[in-house]
């Protein structure tokens, strides 16, 4: 390969290279610098540089297929990268003070967040199942460690252990699916699989179908779709809260990115077959998430089940099987990130030395002492329920509309019904905050970075709720381009 071409291909993965280099710098910096704030700021600066690189590539380039068809740079992957960057910045902002309270403020923490995100970016840009697998493992291995980062706490150890075993189990399924697909089509390239399916006339082949099911199962594990959601509540409860926020957005978005790409580009001709799997999964996911959340008393566990239910709603856009459907899913993911990280930021602000602040009772009468934080929590809870004028309503509105447009009226009805069920457990927190008397005094931990994250997420939840067209048009033009 000639030098100019090689350099050109390297510029295409500049954002990923930047994040990896910054991650390595953070590991070295950790030896020299005592203050973790410095490391966090360098991490955020590195993310901004990567964001700038992605922006430059987005402005100047047509969709590119580089590294012998392994890596694709298009609007779809660029939009997912935007989600990942915002996720890093918000996560770092909410974790600074929190990890000090947990006495686990290691420099590796920030480096691992960057490495995990690089894995997600490779997943979003994967044009080949090999690079998809490698990106998924880079993401997964880093998040296993992050989940168990509070080494002294048995709960955190247990979360990491469970996440590791079930995550490794799901990647074995992914590999088996890849090997079956490879055996039948003779290629691992996502686009060429679609060509081979047509030219070899094996669209109805049961082994191809089996391979696709195995892959859907593996993605379902990462997204936490029922019945593959068993790990999620335990891991979300045990992991550090900031990492729970990170995990409930990043790997989920990356899972949807690869699911959308593989199902739409490789198995586009098999839409009837994958819908026969995904429709029951979506219904079960929404039902399980909404109903079991009713019984939870730990807010992190409740938000875990809520994130399962939201994954079910997002799946409706994929089931629709059109570009508009995919648009609504990606739009939902962006909105979900703001409201979910915001809710976790409020949960984090209750944590202080010697007080967990994770039980629902801890929220009793919060509004009397801390009206601002309560009001923010109210916004996030309304948004998660899907009440206008918050962004959550817009997200739900578009996925349900796409379900109706694609002829799945019953799915829309089920989604709306369970949305009403979910109002119970979201609004219960609001009720606890505003209508009950406090059992004990709760003092909040606050820091400027946490306040910044809260301000950004609240602002975005409200702005995207009032002016939804901006985000929607951005998503639509990204996916089309």
Partner 1 sequence: MVPLSWYILLSAVMFSIGVFGFLSRRNLILIFLSLELMLNSVNISLVAFSHYLQSMRGQILVFFIITVAAAEAAIGLAILIAFYRNNPTIKVDEINLMKG
Q: Would you tell me which residues interact with partner 1 (CB under 8 A)?
A: 129-130, 133-134, 137, 141, 144-145, 148, 151-155, 157-162, 164-165, 168-169, 172, 175-176, 178-180, 182-183, 186-188, 230-231, 233-234, 237-238
Residues 310, 289 contacting (CB under 8 angstroms): yes
If the CB atoms of residues 162 and 310 are measured against partner 1, the closer one turns out to be 162
If the CB atoms of residues 160 and 433 are measured against partner 1, the closer one turns out to be 160
In the 8-state DSSP scheme, what is residue 71? E
Residues 351, 98 contacting (CB under 8 angstroms): yes
Q: Which of 342, 282, 340 is nearest to 311 (CA)?
A: 282
| Rounded distance between C-alpha atoms, residue 335 and residue 457, angstroms | 10
Distance in Å, CB of 140 to partner 1, minimum: 8
**Other C-beta atoms within 10 Å of 201: how many?**
9
Distance in Å, CB of 201 to partner 1, minimum: 17
**Other C-beta atoms within 10 Å of 192: how many?**
18
Distance in Å, CB of 154 to partner 1, minimum: 4
Place of tokens 């880093």: 142
Q: Which of 27, 88, 23, 452 is nearest to 243 (CA)?
A: 88
Distance in Å, CB of 142 to partner 1, minimum: 9
In Å, what is the CA distance from 429 to each residue of 237, 377, 417? 17, 9, 20
Distance in Å, CB of 44 to partner 1, minimum: 26
Which string of DSSP letters, residue by residue, matches 408-453?
-HHHHHHHHHHHHHHHHHHHHHHHHHHHS--SS--PPP--HHHHHH
If the CB atoms of residues 306 and 327 are measured against partner 1, the closer one turns out to be 306
Distance in Å, CB of 237 to partner 1, minimum: 5
Distance in Å, CB of 133 to partner 1, minimum: 7
If the CB atoms of residues 11 and 187 are measured against partner 1, the closer one turns out to be 187
The token pair that represents 151 in the structure block: 């080494």
The token pair that represents 479 in the structure block: 């996916």
If the CB atoms of residues 154 and 206 are measured against partner 1, the closer one turns out to be 154
If the CB atoms of residues 137 and 324 are measured against partner 1, the closer one turns out to be 137
Distance in Å, CB of 25 to partner 1, minimum: 21
If the CB atoms of residues 37 and 158 are measured against partner 1, the closer one turns out to be 158
If the CB atoms of residues 129 and 400 are measured against partner 1, the closer one turns out to be 129
Run of H or E residues at 65 = strand 64-66
| Rounded distance between C-alpha atoms, residue 103 and residue 166, angstroms | 28
| Residue 67 exposed, middle or buried by CB count within 10 Å (0-12, 13-18, 19+) | middle
């Amino acid at each position: 390969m000639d030098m100019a071409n090689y350099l050109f291909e390297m510029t295409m993965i500049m954002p990923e290279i930047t994040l990896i280099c910054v991650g390595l710098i953070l590991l070295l910096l950790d030896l020299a610098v005592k203050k973790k704030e410095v490391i966090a700021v360098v991490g955020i600066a590195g993310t901004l540089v990567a964001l700038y690189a992605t922006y430059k590539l987005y402005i100047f380039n047509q969709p590119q297929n580089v590294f012998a068809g392994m890596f694709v740079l298009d609007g779809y992957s660029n939009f997912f990268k935007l989600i990942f960057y915002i996720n890093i910045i918000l996560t770092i902002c909410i974790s600074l003070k929190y990890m000090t309270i947990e006495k686990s403020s290691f420099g590796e923490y920030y480096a691992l967040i960057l490495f995990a995100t690089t894995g997600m970016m490779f997943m979003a840009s994967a044009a080949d199942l090999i690079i998809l697998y490698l990106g998924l493992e880079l993401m997964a291995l880093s998040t296993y460690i992050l989940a168990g980062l509070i080494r002294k706490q048995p709960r955190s150890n247990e979360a990491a252990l469970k996440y590791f075993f079930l995550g490794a189990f799901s990647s074995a399924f992914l590999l088996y699916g890849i090997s079956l697909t490879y055996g039948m089509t003779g290629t691992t390239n996502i686009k060429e699989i679609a060509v081979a399916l047509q030219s070899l006339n094996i669209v109805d082949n049961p082994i191809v179908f089996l391979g696709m099911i195995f892959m859907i199962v593996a993605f379902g594990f990462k997204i936490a779709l029922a019945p593959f959601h068993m790990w999620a509540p335990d891991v979300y409860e045990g992991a550090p809260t900031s990492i729970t926020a990170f995990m409930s957005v990043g790997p989920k978005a990356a899972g949807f990115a690869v699911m959308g790409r593989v199902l739409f580009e490789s198995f586009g001709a098999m839409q009837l077959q994958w819908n026969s799997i995904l429709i029951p999964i979506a219904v079960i996911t929404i039902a399980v998430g909404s109903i079991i959340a009713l019984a939870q008393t730990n807010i992190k566990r409740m938000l875990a089940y809520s994130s399962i239910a939201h994954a079910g709603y997002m799946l409706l856009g994929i089931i629709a099987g059109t570009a508009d459907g995919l648009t609504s899913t990606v739009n939902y993911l962006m909105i979900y990130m703001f409201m979910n990280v915001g809710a976790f930021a409020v949960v984090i602000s209750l944590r202080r030395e010697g007080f967990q602040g994770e039980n629902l009772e801890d929220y009793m009468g919060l509004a009397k002492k801390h009206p601002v934080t309560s009001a923010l929590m109210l916004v996030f809870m309304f948004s998660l329920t899907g009440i206008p004028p918050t962004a959550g309503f817009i997200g739900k509105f578009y996925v349900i509309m796409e379900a109706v447009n694609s002829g799945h009226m019953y799915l829309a009805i089920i989604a709306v019904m369970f949305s009403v069920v979910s109002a119970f457990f979201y609004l219960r927190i609001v009720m606890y905050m505003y209508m009950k008397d406090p059992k004990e005094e709760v003092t909040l931990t606050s820091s400027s970075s946490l306040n910044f994250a809260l301000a950004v997420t609240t602002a975005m939840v409200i702005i995207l709720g009032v002016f939804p067209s901006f985000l929607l048009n951005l998503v639509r033009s990204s996916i089309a381009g």
